[in-house]
Each structure stands twice: as C-alpha cells, then as structure tokens.
Amino acid sequence: MPEHPAPAPAVYDTVELSRLVLGLAAAGGADSRALARDAGLPGWLLGLDGAMVESRHHVRLWELAEHALQDPYAGLTAVSRHQVGDLDLYDYLFSTAGTVGEALEVTGDFFRLISTNCQLRAGAPADGGITYSYRHALPGGRGEELWTQFSIAGFCARIQAVAGRPVIPAHIAFAQPPPRSYGAFTETFGTRQIDFRAPATTFTLLARDLDRPLPGADPVLARILRRYAATLPQPQPTSWHSHFRQVLAEAIGDGEPSLAAVARRLAVSVRTLQRRLTEHGTTWRAELETARHDRARQALQASSPSMTRLARQLGYADPRSVRRALRRWDQSHDPRDTP
C-alpha cells in the first residue's frame, strides 16, 4: 500500500500578531470580532498576554482582513500599528543590542519567542553587506504573502526605530508574485531595489548600516536578557483548559473559588463552563479539588498559615474542613481521584 506522508507538525505564533491584524481591521471599519471568529480565533485566547495560537489561524486572518478592508497592501499598512516593545522580551532583546547587525543576530536566535513558524537566517558577508533570508515553515497562500510583507517591512521599521535614523536596505526580494503597483512597496522601504518571484524572500543591508551603533545599546542588560531568553522552553499553544486552570488559581488566590465567580471571570455562563469541562473530560469538583490542593501545598511550603485564613481563601466553611481536606490529600496520590 502507498505510504501517506505524515502531517506537518503544528507551528505557533504569539497572539499579539493576531491582535495587531484585528486592530488594523477595526481601524478600517471592519468587524474584528467576526474576522476573529471566521479565522478560528476564540475571544478568550485573544485576551491573553503571551498566548500562542496555531499559525494557520493567523494566516487565515490576514486573508480575511485583506478582503474586509479591500486593501491589497494590508501587510505593509499594518506596520504602522506596531511599536517596538509590543512583543515584550523579543523587542527588548533587539533594542538593547550593540549594533544593527547584533540586533538582527539576536532576532534570528530567539525568533521562537514569538513564532515557531518564522525563520530568519543570515548569509555570509558578500559585496559589502549581508543578505538575510526569511521563510515560513507553514505555506499559506495569500495569507502568507501578506504576512511576509508585514514581516520584512517590520524588520526595516524596527531597525530604523532603534537606530534613530533611516536605514535603507540595499536590496529586497520577495518569492511571491509582483503586485499591480510597486508604489506602496517603494514608499514603505524607501528604495526601488525590490524584486519579485525570487527564489527566496530576502533583504540585504550594507556593512556600514549593520555596524551602526544603537542609541539604546545596553551591554549588561542585553547579556541578562539573552541568558534569560535562553532558559525559556519552546512556546506551547495555549489551550482553553490551561487557561481555565489559571483563572481558577487566580480566583482561589483572591478568595472567591466558586463556580459562578470563575464563570464570570471567563465571561461565560455557569452551564457553558460546566459543558466545556465535560468536553475536556473533567468536572468542576475535580478541578476545584486539585486547585485547592495545589494552593494549600504552596501555602504550607512557604510558611505556617492560619487555618482560618487558609479556609477562607480556599472557600471552605471552617478550619476543620481544611484539616479534613489535608488528611484526604495525604491519603490520595491525585486529588482528582478523590470520591
């Protein structure tokens, strides 16, 4: 029997990129909620800082935004909405580097902080400059084309922002077909040295620009940030279940671990919350038991808290209920197994 190729592994991008596209769409009068829904992006996910979404949703969102705005240059237009700092650690790694070249080097090293789909690679120095290649692991048709335009324009805009002066690429090449008009591209990049239908998407910077010192360079902070970034694990997608558990933990920390309170924090009805938990093979009682156990263990490891205060925080009627729960947990390997 013929062998079927294994499906490509899923790749992810920071939700901040999707929020940027939705912000562009909303500014242009489009229904951003409808676009998010049609792209498969749930509202609860869009509200989370640092969340990761599957790249296929982001690619689809670019296509929907272009159609809604009737703007074939949406990828270039979106760059004006992005500011250095929006991507948190990734942007600070860039802005604290010593030179433009170092900033691009750290960008390639830590791209995984914002995307496991995108790759930036530096070629060998040649003709007085370096050519950087950019590609996506997940091909995405028109959505990928728009995203690529945004990315290359974003690199150039970020370089100029941290350099404090114009830095014009010596050459830019896109693997995609040429647009009907080059005007938006030459205006965005400040050069006519732009080709299309190239073997790969690339941009070239001259050595004098790569060696340009950055006004915000901070060698000490840059080393600290790089060491910290190197310890971070590969970003994982944010699931509804993990989001629920985070909200439940926060509710317990605030002393209101009730079903109604958590449902309110999640902006859903109690019935919807219970149904979602059932779909994930669990129940409110099991999740609450586990979360209470985790919070109690953390509190006991940190200090010797008052049983009265711990009972109030965990939502028990009195200290005796907490003591009974602690004994029960000591006898059970997993609180979810507690009858």
Gap between the Cα atoms of 67 and 53, Å rounded: 22
Q: Is the pLDDT of residue 1 over 50?
A: no
CATH of domain 240-337: 1.10.10.60
In this prediction the pTM is 0.79
**How far apart, in whole angstroms, are the C-alpha atoms of residue 86 and residue 282?**
36
CA 331 to chain centre: 40
In the predicted model, what is the mean pLDDT of residues 12-25?
Answer: 92
Whole-number Å distance between alpha carbons of 202 and 122:
10
Tokens of 272: 């919807």
Could you tell me which residues are beta bridge partners of residue 52? Answer: 14
Domain ranges (residues) in the chain: 12-231, 240-337
DSSP string of 242-267, one letter each residue: HHHHHHHHHHHHTT---HHHHHHHTT
Looking at domain 12-231, which of 3.90.1520.10, 3.40.50.300, 3.90.1170.50, 3.40.50.720 is its CATH number? 3.90.1520.10
Phi–psi pair at 173, nearest 5 degrees: -135, 135
Tokens coding 165: 């002066």
Whether residue 152 contacts residue 134, with contact meaning beta carbons closer than 8 Å, is answered with yes
> Lowest-pLDDT range, 263-267, 305-309, 331-335?
331-335
Residues facing 99 on adjacent strands:
213
Least confident among 35-39, 100-104, 331-335: 331-335
The average confidence (pLDDT) of the chain is 86
Contact 237, 228 (CB under 8 A): no
Angle at 313 between CA 307 and CA 316, to 5 degrees: 70
Query: At residue 320, does pLDDT exceed 90?
Result: no
CA distance 86 to 92: 10
Instruction: Using CA atoms of 96, 98, 104, 105 in order, give the dihedral in degrees to the nearest 10.
Output: -100
Rounded to whole angstroms, how far apart are CA atoms 95 and 64? Answer: 32
Give the mean pLDDT of 220-245: 88
pLDDT at residue 296, as a whole number: 72
User: How many beta carbons lie within 10 A of that of residue 134, not counting itself?
Assistant: 21
Rounded to the nearest 5 percent, the helix, strand and coil shares of the chain are 55, 10, 35
Between residues 306 and 41, the one the model is more confident about = 41
pLDDT digits over 76-90, tens only?
999 988 888 888 899
Bin 235: left if φ > 0, else alpha if -120 < ψ < 50, else beta: beta
The tens digit of pLDDT for each residue in 87-138 reads 889 999 999 999 999 999 998 899 999 999 999 999 988 888 999 999 998 7
Q: Is 328 helix (H, G, I), strand (E, B) or coil?
A: helix
- Report helix angle 141-163 to 55-69, nearest 10: 90
